[in-house]
Amino acid sequence: MEEEAFEGTLVLEQLAAIGLRDEFFDAIDSDDFQKAKALMKRAGVDAETIQTVLEKMEAADGEH
């Protein structure tokens, strides 16, 4: 999944605010859905947005 897909999004802003942006991209790059979900929860991302991000991760599997 490309970083550009998230640039400027509220998800990244929330993750950056607590210093987890790079860790989140590491989770995406390694297709670690559980870690990505846990990091978004820690950042206070709402459940609907988390689900959308996970669906985008799944759809992009193998394209990064």
Element (H, E) at 49: helix 47-59
pLDDT digits (tens, 9 = 90+) for 39-55: 999 999 999 889 988 98
Q: What would the pLDDT profile of 20-30 be if each residue is shown by its tens digit?
A: 999 999 999 99
Closest CA to 45 of 23, 2, 25, 16: 16
> Domain map of the chain by residue range?
3-59
The model scores a pTM over 0.85: no
